[in-house]
Chain A
């Protein structure tokens, strides 16, 4: 049951179990050109996953089916198709309560059908990894990329990491398990990508050998008893009702909820070590900044290049983790900015709200540009928005 006792051993599939840090930072990697779905398959191949439950919904169906192939090949312990996302997430919960490392995927309407499970996962301290490939939410029916659902899961108690590229997707899937399963964290984690843009396009990815695998999950380091009748106390309900109408039971519930948020905060230390900070900055000393997450950042980068050609210097701050939200990092990175643009792939601008809530002088935040419903966000549109605002400012300045 010792965490490190399995390192160096060989699993049933013949993969060598290696120190996670070795797998992440030292093991030789080879370059591949593959889709996001294939990247998911390759990450899970190395993730020592015990159970995965799948359900079809575009755009995550392909990745979910590929995990099934891994099960047939013997890389994943058990795998089946559930009957709906609500059921799937409950099946994942059951497996996690029973001490398994669990993987699943979902998208858009599936995320919402599953929704009741997410705060339950967090409250029950279940370190399930869910790969959310965001898409539009009905109605009207929309299967295209849109990040609206992401704004809706921010406060479920899950860790939420937003990958920009296929490479980050690969790394976050493996590193996500290690952070989420730390005993002081032990929370579900959503590794998010923008559907289609990342899931269905091919990208260069550096991947270590398939002969290596992540250390398996050790349920006996959990901050709550694993439900396998192998750990005391035997008189144990996960999770007990504290349902008396009095101050004490309310205080227990309140403390329990605080503990989930505390666990999110504790993940910072582990996350920074593994993914190198909760944000990433480029030219963040510029007067004008673009701050966002996911594919919007990739588009922002191209906009910066176009603006630089015209002599306008713009920096960028990429938010890698939405929970924990890097409030102090964003405050610091934006402290000299005069204008902060927040491009987003959704109609409401939840990322702009998040940023405005944590920085001083938040009139500096320009909410947008926004696209939605599957529209692309051409860099030129970001350029145009920035130039328009700059022109407006000049007019004001010059009276």
Chain B
């Protein structure tokens, strides 16, 4: 809606709780080049959350919201899980409807916004866990890509069902012992990034959230390419420290250990030829929406 509309009527400014005044006075809606460096400096778009202490998902969530290029005109779609405990406190409109239908909801939403606001940027971003993205919602995840729906899908991959207490998921590693895999998981981690590429995504990235610059670049590319070219997919490792037996301070190390060259979360990126051409055109025009260089 444009930053200028996110303000408090002057008659009521002084009675608003401070977190709302801060949202208006020092958040980064409409700020050029907003990014992860605003975290902890400017007012963030997450007010509070009830995730476990030290949960890597919470920092991933903060990075994502700090890096959206256009939060004042972005609508997010979530699904059931730990993320849905955070979403009520996120200061962009967001939708939870059912478990696993997030890419279907986003398809309808994006088309509605495109129809209602022709010529205006309205970004749609899906953010869901691995159970929602890969298991119960896989059909709708893939079909939205086949149809070339223009939104970014982010999967917070913690390799299990965390919110229900640590059950096996399709993105869990083979052999891992968990609830509902009492003798260890019998099949390989589903290779969704490769499937995404084959399914028509124009940008696919696999990474952990240990390096915020990398996260920022991926999120911005994911949103911008989805806006102009076609579907994009980002899979972020956000380990559930509770279910893999780590301490609150061990999440970052767990992510670092998992992103080595031969590890399952080694940084990987795929950009379609069409998307590459689009990114090159952005560089050339030096548009305000240009991608920050990786630092």
Contact = CB atoms under 8 A, between A and B. Distances in A.
Q: Is chain B in direct contact with chain A in the complex (CB below 8 A)?
A: yes
Interface of A: 50-51, 53, 77-78, 80, 82-84, 86-88, 90-100, 102, 116-117, 120, 124, 225, 227-231, 234-241, 243
Contacts of B85: 241, 243
Contacts of A100: 108, 111-112, 115-116
Contacts of B96: 237-241
Nearest to A78: B111
25 contacts: A50-B116, A51-B108, A78-B111, A87-B139, A90-B98, A93-B108, A94-B109, A95-B108, A95-B112, A97-B97, A97-B112, A98-B75, A116-B98, A120-B97, A227-B95, A227-B109, A228-B93, A229-B74, A229-B93, A230-B1, A235-B23, A235-B89, A237-B95, A238-B93, A240-B96
Contacts of B98: 90, 116-117, 120
Contact of A90 (B23, B93, B101, B122): B101
A181 B73 CA distance: 25
A231 B2 CA distance: 11
B104 A229 contact: no
Interface string B204-242: 000000000000000000000000000000000000000
A291 B95 CA distance: 42
A228 B104 contact: no
B59 interface: no
Contacts of B282: none
| Dominant secondary structure at the B interface | helix
Contacts of A238: 93-97
Interface in B107-127: 107-117, 122
B139 A77 contact: no
Contacts of B192: none
B147 interface: yes
A234 B105 contact: no
A234 B90 CA distance: 8
The 10 closest A-B pairs by CB, nearest first: A94-B108, A98-B112, A95-B108, A90-B104, A94-B105, A90-B101, A100-B112, A94-B109, A91-B108, A95-B112
Contacts of A117: 97-98, 101
A82 B103 CA distance: 12
A39 B93 CA distance: 38
Nearest to B73: A229
Nearest to A123: B97
Nearest to B93: A227
A236 B76 CA distance: 10
B275 interface: no
B228 to A, nearest CB: 19
A90 to B, nearest CB: 4
A350 B101 CA distance: 31
A82 B108 CA distance: 10
A77 B109 CA distance: 13
Contacts of B74: 229
Contacts of B108: 51, 53, 90-98, 100, 102
A70 to B, nearest CB: 14
Nearest to A231: B1
Given A237-B94, A238-B94, 9 more contacts: A82-B104, A91-B108, A94-B111, A97-B95, A97-B109, A102-B108, A225-B93, A234-B92, A235-B47
Contacts of B139: 83-84, 87
Contacts of A86: 101, 104
Contacts, number: 151
B166 interface: no
A241 B112 contact: no
Interface of B: 1, 5-6, 23, 47, 72-75, 77-78, 84-85, 87-98, 101, 104-117, 122, 139-140, 143, 147
Residue with the highest number of chain A CB atoms closer than 10 Å, among B5, B90, B95, B147: B95
B104 to A, nearest CB: 4
B109 A98 contact: yes
Contacts of A120: 97-98
Nearest to A243: B85
B91 A235 contact: yes
B190 to A, nearest CB: 19
Nearest to B115: A77
Contacts of B78: 237
Nearest to A217: B116
Given A98-B113, A100-B116, A227 B94 contact: yes
Nearest to B86: A237
Given A117-B98, A229-B1, A91 B104 contact: yes
Contacts of B94: 227, 236-238
Contacts of A91: 104-105, 107-108
B115 A228 contact: no
A225 B95 CA distance: 11
A57 to B, nearest CB: 17
B92 to A, nearest CB: 6
Contacts of A84: 139
Contacts of B114: 78
Nearest to B96: A237
A77 B105 CA distance: 17
Contacts of B87: 237, 240
A86 B140 CA distance: 9
Contacts of A230: 1, 5
A228 B107 contact: no
Contacts of B47: 235
Residue with the highest number of chain B CB atoms closer than 10 Å, among A95, A98, A116, A227: A98
A51 B115 contact: yes
A237 B73 CA distance: 15
A88 B103 CA distance: 11
A294 B87 CA distance: 44
Residue with the highest number of chain A CB atoms closer than 10 Å, among B72, B91, B112: B112
A227 B75 CA distance: 7
A102 B116 CA distance: 13
